[in-house]
């Protein structure tokens, strides 16, 4: 699952979480750090700057085409590797 979250400075970033298929209340792994952060001018400034948030995605093999909002003003797209996202997750005990 891809999610967005904010830090204490209201900076919104994207992270990933892996849930158990039979019991989705069980978290198996999670991002320790965001895999996508606001860096571009259109993500840093705007109605509510320093913000990116998920809007949906398409999967084609290992490619995740992610649609996201930035600064509460624009809709953007990015292509990411599912494998890279999964390998960035930390297993939870």
Give the pLDDT confidence of 71-83 residue by residue, as tens digits: 999 999 999 999 9
Give the pTM: 0.88
Domain that holds residue 86: 2-91
Please count the structural domains in the chain: 1
C-alpha 33/C-alpha 50 separation (Å) is: 16
Q: Where residue 41 falls among pLDDT bands split at 50, 70, 90?
A: very high
Cβ neighbours for 13, distance < 8 A, ≥ 6 positions apart: 4, 5, 7, 34, 36, 37, 38, 52
Residue range 23-45: mean pLDDT, rounded:
95
> Where does the chain have alpha helices with state H?
41-44, 82-88
């Amino acid at each position: 699952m891809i999610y967005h979250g904010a830090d204490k400075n209201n900076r919104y970033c994207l992270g990933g979480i892996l849930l158990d298929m039979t019991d989705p209340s069980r978290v198996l792994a999670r991002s320790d750090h965001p895999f996508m952060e606001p860096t571009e001018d259109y993500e840093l400034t705007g109605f509510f700057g320093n913000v990116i948030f998920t809007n949906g995605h398409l999967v084609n093999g290992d490619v995740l085409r992610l649609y996201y909002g930035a600064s509460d003003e624009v809709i953007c797209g990015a292509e990411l590797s599912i494998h890279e996202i999964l390998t960035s997750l930390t297993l939870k005990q």
